[in-house]
Amino acid sequence: MPRKEAKKTAKKSIGPESKGELVILTGLSGSGKLSALKTFEDLGFYSVDNLPLELVPRFADLVRQSAGIERAALVVDVREGMRLDEFPVILKRVRKVLPTRVLYLEASDDALIRRFSETRRPHPMGRTDTVIQSIRAERKRLDPIRNVADIVLDTTKFTVHDLRAHIGAQFEREESDRNLTISSNSFGFKNGVPSEADLVLDVRFLPNPHFVPEFRKLTGKHPKVAKYIRDFPQTTEFLDKTMDMLEFLLPHYIKEGKSYLTVAFGCTGGQHRSVFIAEEMKKRLTAAGYRVKSSHRDMPR
């Protein structure tokens, strides 16, 4: 069943007395799950690490019935062993009783190897294989979960603080009639397209401030760079047409139950054009009444 249809079925199956929210946190060892779980706890989620898979439906039912737990987060990962193959079926059961999102964390092989080297901890897949062999085996084992995840987040370039900020932007509770959080992000194509992006827009058609010597070390947040980019007529036209597209799409996303949307703007290096556009779109969407966060993956710190 396509994911879109599955979500509709889950929403229809939740009874009128259902309450609460569940986040299932999963992904590769070394990708930041424990830091993420701590962040959820700080956001007010009742947090549980390594709950046996067969207990997840019972836990969801307890959250639904509990007067003291409105939001909960739990970790399911490779420690479950071969039972992970049952996760998609169990997830369908859980979504019949409680609104549930699956957040899957991953990172590049090099980043994971480095993290295991720094912590000097063995990989949970075992001590007999090399770390890279264990990482590749774990990716394969977790594939059924990744395929049903609502959010796939690549933490390769994240610090702990970046991870906390990103989860906070996606999951912190704010009062709004429009129950949708939008992340307006920038990135550089030379470093790859961010895997968490729902919509990717290429702004490399705009003149590049990098070739103006006085702008080279600045970013799209600097007033001089912003004015340089804004003064081109195609910049305003792009912003207007992108805003028109989003104003068409966003109500439909909300109607379908989507509670987060990541719009990623890419230029060559992720320093000038994409940063400016992401910030401008944040201003426009905020003025339209949406909750909007911005982040700049490749902008110099």
Q: In the CATH scheme, what is the code of domain 3-171?
A: 3.40.50.300
Contact 261, 184 (CB under 8 A): no
CB proximity list for 123: less than 8 A, separation 6 or greater: 29, 30, 116, 129, 131, 134, 135, 138
- Token pair, residue 74, equals 């739990």
With tokens 């309450």, the residue in question is: 19
Average pLDDT, stretch 2-8? 37
In this predicted structure, what is the pLDDT of residue 178? 57
Query: Where along the chain do its domains lie?
Result: 3-171, 181-296
Query: 197-250 pLDDT, tens per residue?
Result: 999 999 999 999 999 999 999 999 999 999 999 999 999 999 999 999 999 999
Determine the 3-state secondary structure of 106 from DSSP: strand
Contact 96, 14 (CB under 8 A): yes
- Token pair, residue 210, equals 């990098």
Average pLDDT, stretch 160-186? 77
Task: State the Cα–Cα distance between residues 167 and 47, nearest whole angstrom.
Answer: 14
Torsion of CA 16, 20, 22, 23, to 10 degrees: 120
DSSP state of 210: G
